[in-house]
Amino acid sequence: MNRTKLATLNSGTVLITQLVTLILKFAVQTVFIHQLSQSFLGLNSLFANVISFLSFADLGIGTAITVALYQPIANNDLPALRGLLVMYRKVYLIIGSLITVIGCLLAPLVHFFIKGSAFSNGQISGWFVLYLIGTTATYFAAYKRSYLMATQEGYLNSLNDFCFRALQFGTQIIVILVWQSYLFFLIIQLVCVALSNWQLSRMARRRHPEVFQTEQVSIQKPTHETVSQIKRNVVGSMSSNISSIVVMGTDNLILSALVGLAYVAKYANYMLLIQSVNSLFSQALKAVVASIGNLNVTSESDKKEDILFKLLYLNSVINIVLVLGLAVGINFFINIWAGAKYLLTPQVVMIILANFLVNQARYPIQNFISGMGLYWSLRWKSLVEAGVNLVISLILVLGLNWGIYGVVCGNLISNIAINTWWEPLIVYRHGLHRSLKPYLIRYCRYFLISLLALLSGLGLASLIGPHAWKEFIFYEIFAEILGLLVFFWLTRKTPEFHFYRTMIQKLGHRLLHH
């Protein structure tokens, strides 16, 4: 199967499984909200953020070694491939064990991050340990998961993950409805993660026995040059992910410690909705990373830049659809789904969605950074972003007493000030080796149209009553159609518009003549 077909299969599988998983996840959250207290929801979100800090040690290993796998896979160099995978397995065994031990030692201290807790310290510590083990269990099959991603078989991982997450969510719903037990909720999560990793390991061994089972193929230790390149990518990727943790992970920590779990619960519902929509499409777009990695070792810069422009255009179309849908409907949905007590102010929602839009616009360039293995060049950007975000957020929350508004403003300011220009500069300076100007012209044009769509959607949202379903459906459809028509009209002379129009015409012609 060629690169385009594999990328399409991976993206399509991820899109479908993420959509169904998203529905199941909201079903769990709905039962969680209405059967357990607001404090439980805030506590669950806090655990996720604390563990994201503990997991910083593995943040560069997986991606860096996946990049290193592209070349031996393309050359069918089994000894070199097995050598990298053996190294990867050993490293992740150490990291997974280390994070588990550190997390267990930290468990008695987690209650210090909670203002006015309704739970005992023993309860918080026990629940945290279960949540921790359910997370670290994923590390022990990570090297096989990365191999499948590098061979453009990520759809197998998506299907496996979907099956066990569906089992997990279904069982958790039953447990909450029948026993209202957060303890059983966490135990189910741990068991299903362990079973998912066991099945993924079996599947990888069965499909690729020449890599994971045979003893007849020798193991070639990675060369000094390869190890050095991996170390550079690990440092760069780790710094990048550390910035993501500081930017996103500190939100709930700051809110929990300085404002309270009730605001963590409110913020968590909005972020669940936004991140679920984000993951639905970002995973589909990330499925092309392996194809970009293959493209990077087989094609010239002209071809790479052409693919980048096409991904940027496609991503912008998706952004228009997503940001209009969220701007018009997010408060309406939260009110119907969770209740009025979980609503945030329109000003906070506007900043949250603006930050969502900036993050969405970064995906094409981030995919090229991943596919090209440019993490070393990313290291300083990520550290600067993390520092700027933390300082601004603390100033706005502690100094100006802005509360949750200060947290989301800190995210947006650091995102715009650092990411919008630094990441593209890395790709063009160290990957494509050409002028950044054509990219910036396209990026600014697409982003301004998307920003206009966001503001228009928020304006339409103010016209919708709390339970006015007819108004909601009308304005959603009206906004989506008008937004896309305006975008296509304003970009109708671009090569990317003509490419996708021709592709759709050919697809339509093929379907009509079958």
| The model scores a pTM over 0.85 | no
**pLDDT attached to residue 478:** 93
**pLDDT attached to residue 477:** 94
**pLDDT attached to residue 335:** 92
Average pLDDT over residues 415-433: 91
Highest average pLDDT, of 46-50, 147-151, 360-364, comes from 360-364
Q: Assess contact for 483 and 456: CB atoms under 8 A.
A: yes
90 contacts: CB under 8 Å, gap ≥ 6: none
**pLDDT attached to residue 178:** 93
Cα torsion through 466, 471, 475, 476, rounded to 10: 70
pLDDT above 90 (res 175)? yes
Quick one: pLDDT band at residue 186, thresholds 50, 70, 90?
Answer: very high
pLDDT over 90 percentage in the chain? 32
pLDDT above 80 (res 236)? no
Average pLDDT over residues 348-368: 91
pLDDT above 60 (res 57)? no
pLDDT above 80 (res 265)? yes
pLDDT above 90 (res 124)? yes
Give the per-residue SS3 of 283-343. HHHHCCHHHHHHHHHHCCHHHHHHHHHHHHHHHHHHHHHHHHHHHHHHHHHHHHHCCHHHC
Q: In whole angstroms, give the CA distance from residue 125 to residue 105.
A: 10
**Choice between 472 and 371, residue whose per-residue pLDDT is larger:** 472
pLDDT above 80 (res 130)? yes
Q: How many CA atoms lie within 13 A of 223 on its CB side?
A: 6
Average pLDDT over residues 264-284: 80
pLDDT above 90 (res 12)? no
Q: Which two tokens stand for residue 384?
A: 């600067």
Average pLDDT over residues 30-34: 88
CA Rg, the chain, in Å? 23
Instruction: Give the CA distances from residue 154 to residues 16, 122, 289, 498, in Å, rounded to whole numbers and listed in that order.
Output: 13, 40, 10, 30
pLDDT over 70 percentage in the chain? 88
Cα three-residue angle 167-191-267, rounded to 5 degrees: 75
pLDDT above 70 (res 503)? yes
**Choice between 154 and 47, residue whose per-residue pLDDT is larger:** 47
Question: In b/e form, how buried is each residue of 148-161, taking b as 16+ CB within 10 angstroms?
Answer: bbbbbbbbbbbebb
* Three-class DSSP category at 345: coil
Average pLDDT over residues 465-473: 86
Q: pLDDT tens for residues 378-411?
A: 778 877 888 888 889 889 988 888 888 888 899 8
Quick one: pLDDT band at residue 285, thresholds 50, 70, 90?
Answer: low
**pLDDT attached to residue 11:** 67
Question: In b/e form, how buried is each residue of 456-469, taking b as 16+ CB within 10 angstroms?
Answer: bbbebbeebeeeee
Q: Assess contact for 223 and 363: CB atoms under 8 A.
A: no
pLDDT above 90 (res 139)? no
Cα three-residue angle 173-176-180, rounded to 5 degrees: 175
Average pLDDT over residues 473-487: 93
Q: How many CA atoms lie within 13 A of 337 on its CB side?
A: 22
**pLDDT attached to residue 20:** 86
**pLDDT attached to residue 309:** 93
Question: Cβ-count burial of 114 within 10 angstroms (0-12 exposed, 13-18 middle, 19+ buried)?
Answer: buried
* Average pLDDT value over all residues in the chain: 84
Quick one: pLDDT band at residue 170, thresholds 50, 70, 90?
Answer: very high
Average pLDDT over residues 23-51: 85
Q: pLDDT tens for residues 193-224?
A: 999 999 998 998 888 888 886 665 678 888 88
**Choice between 483 and 6, residue whose per-residue pLDDT is larger:** 483
Q: pLDDT tens for residues 426-461?
A: 999 988 888 999 999 999 999 999 999 999 999 998
**pLDDT attached to residue 289:** 63
**pLDDT attached to residue 369:** 85
**pLDDT attached to residue 303:** 86
End-to-end CA distance of the chain: 22
Q: In whole angstroms, give the CA distance from residue 13 to residue 152.
A: 12
Highest average pLDDT, of 54-58, 257-261, 304-308, comes from 304-308
